[in-house]
Structure 1
Amino acid sequence: MKQLISLTALGLALTLTLGASVHAAEDAKAPTKQQSKMATCNADEKAKTLKGDERKAFMKECLSANKQEKQQTKMKTCNADEKAKTLKGDERKAFMSECLKG
């Protein structure tokens, strides 16, 4: 009887461990934002023809272009806010700073 309980407990522990391992493996397969950006830049026809330093420069520009586009989009959204239209001077600067961070 003691062996049966021990084996059952061991089986349960192994099942839980295996389930956690499978779940962790699924999470590891999902690409990060950076990996997605890299895949997009690598898929560009220009990247396929470049080599060495030229390719490095292209990839750096391609990856940072996304950041610049996001910043420009945030700036447009913050400027369009009704509150931004009514504020002046330091109050406007503080509002824009907070808006761009969020």
Structure 2
Amino acid sequence: MKSMLFIALCLSASLAAAADDAAPNKQQNKMAQCNQEAGDKKGPERKQFMSDCLKNKQKAQQEKMKACNKDAEGKKGAERKEFMATCLKKDS
């Protein structure tokens, strides 16, 4: 009985891990966006475009974080956490 439970737990854990791997993360989303914007560029031109594009997306996220932090002044704890989450999700 215990071994059946153990096998079931292992199976469910591996299925959950596989589901997590299927969902794209933020970096993969940035790559997909830049890749789409790169269009039919090839070689060094494409490499430079992708590098610049990914840097710009990182910079934009940092600027967004600064703005949200400034707007969150005076908020603490759960209120601040909720505000930041909502603020950072805007226009994403």
Shorter-normalised TM range: 0.5 to 0.7
Change (3 A) 1:16 1:50: same
Which has the higher relative contact order, 1 or 2, with Cα contacts under 8 A spaced 6 or more apart? Answer: 2
In the alignment, structure 1 residue 67 sits paired with structure 2 residue 48: no
Q: How many residues align?
A: 74
Residue type matched to 2:48 in 1? A
- Aligned residue for 1:99? none
- Aligned residue for 1:43? 36
- Within 5 Å, which residues of 2 pair with 1:1-102? 8-44=1-37, 47-75=38-66
> Where does the alignment leave 5 or more consecutive residues of structure 1 unmatched?
1-7, 83-102
Based on CA coordinates, which of the two structures has the bigger radius of gyration? 1
Identical aligned residues as a percent: 41
Give TM-score scaled by structure 1 length. 0.59
Residue type matched to 1:55 in 2? R
> Where does the alignment leave 5 or more consecutive residues of structure 2 unmatched?
74-92
Q: Deviations over 1:44-89 (max 9, x none)?
A: 1xx121111110000001101112223344555667788xxxxxxx
Change (3 A) 1:49 1:13: same
Residue type matched to 1:30 in 2? A
Give TM-score scaled by structure 2 length. 0.65
